[in-house]
Amino acid sequence: MHVISVGRDILGINRELARKNREVFDKNRVLAVNIMGAIGSGKTSLIEVLCKELREYKIAALAGDVISDVDANRLKKLGIPVQGVNTGKECHLDAHLVGHAIRKIQLEDIDILFIENVGNLICPVDFELGTQRDITIVSVTEGDDTVEKHPMIFLNSDALIINKIDIADSVNASVDKMERDALRINSKLRVFKISLKKGTGVPEVVEWIKRSRDEI
């Protein structure tokens, strides 16, 4: 029983810290985007592509990872400010870690902050970060039942990006089923069907990010 009450406290504290992060983002007029998704779904690639397509904006990134700095180093090659955030044993970022990391970025000079969460569809669900937008990206290679198997993350997302649609037939995945499952879970989800490799569907995502930035 104690475990349950401690768990509640942790989530309550996280929610309060997330609220503070949001104040910092809003005060600096930074659009913060939490990017969640499994390993190999295309989180880092999405940030790389969006940085190239959103050149007129000043962009920074946080790269969450259990222990490595592989993604952080990949993103540094884009020439943007990047902070790696190691979570140790934890399989998600939390508002406390993000709150510390953003102190090392000159947010007053930034328009958009991309936050790459740790690679899985389960742990990040309970830990809001204070971001104004939350995206979940899935790849058709995860199987077209991956959406229905992870309903909670789609309840807490604003957008679903289905990636690698160019190889859906080769891996026997129905993109339409993934979209249907997602909208059944959360009818307000914005769904994008894209191929980061081919560039298919990317302009729609770019437009959505621009509009989101205008709305804050």
Closer residue to Mg ion in complex, CB, 84/130: 84
Shortest separation between residue 69's beta carbon and Mg ion, angstroms: 11
Closer residue to Mg ion in complex, CB, 146/185: 146
Shortest separation between residue 44's beta carbon and Mg ion, angstroms: 3
- Residue with CB nearest Mg ion? 44
Closer residue to Mg ion in complex, CB, 17/92: 92
Chain residues binding Mg ion by CB under 5 A are: 43-44, 71
Q: How many other C-beta atoms lie within 10 A of the C-beta of residue 87?
A: 17
Shortest separation between residue 38's beta carbon and Mg ion, angstroms: 10
Closer residue to Mg ion in complex, CB, 21/139: 139
Shortest separation between residue 101's beta carbon and Mg ion, angstroms: 16
Among the listed residues 74, 67, 57, 75, the one whose alpha carbon sits nearest the alpha carbon of residue 91: 67
Sole residue written with tokens 């913060």: 32
